[in-house]
Each structure stands twice: as C-alpha cells, then as structure tokens.
Amino acid sequence: MVAYEDEKAAEAAYDVLWKNTARTAGRDDADLGPVGARRDAVGGPIGYDGAYGVTGQIRVGAALLWVSSDARSEKKLDKTLVKDLAALFSDRAQQAQNGEEPSAAL
C-alpha cells in the first residue's frame, strides 16, 4: 500500500505504478470485482511448471493498494479469494480514510 497526500496525487501516480506492476505480472485481464475508485488486474503464467498468478492494483481515495495471489496452476488458483482479498483491503483502506476503526475480518 502507498498513501498519498490526496486523491489527486494518488490518481496521478496510478498509471505510472500500474505500468511497472503490470509489466511483470501477466498478460491476461483479471477481475478484482467492484472495488475502489479504480482498479486493474492481470493474470497469467508465472515462474516454472505451470504456476499461475493474479496481481491487481486498486485506488481507494488517497491510497494505492496491491493484491497478488498465485498457485501451482490456473485451476488451483482461488479467484474468489483474490476478489475477497481485494474487497477486504479496499474496504479497510476506505474505513481508515473515513476516520473509522478498520475491522480486519474476512
């Protein structure tokens, strides 16, 4: 997670950081669900022997968050868990920005 002074600064950094992250994280579009004000995700083969991963970036207010998950194969990757983690991180970031005490339950 990276926190910026305000939403404008976070949005200005979004594309620069995503370009670098996406370049190393796969080639296929992936779905994080309806999280944050902006989100992108890619998935694909990583490493050796058919390992598969999904990496995403989410902007929540003045914060940019990254979520990443991988498994031994695409079939073994729990894509629902990836969406759940993205929702968990973005919900907690929004709670913190709202001045609420973030909960940490999934």
Q: In this predicted structure, what is the pLDDT of residue 49?
A: 85
pLDDT of the residue at 104: 65
Classify residue 93 by burial, with Cβ atoms within 10 Å: 0-12, 13-18, 19+: buried
Three-state DSSP class for residue 67:
strand
* Regions of the chain where pLDDT drops below 50: none
User: What confidence score (pLDDT) does residue 73 get?
Assistant: 92
Burial class (CB in 10 A: 0-12, 13-18, 19+), 33: middle
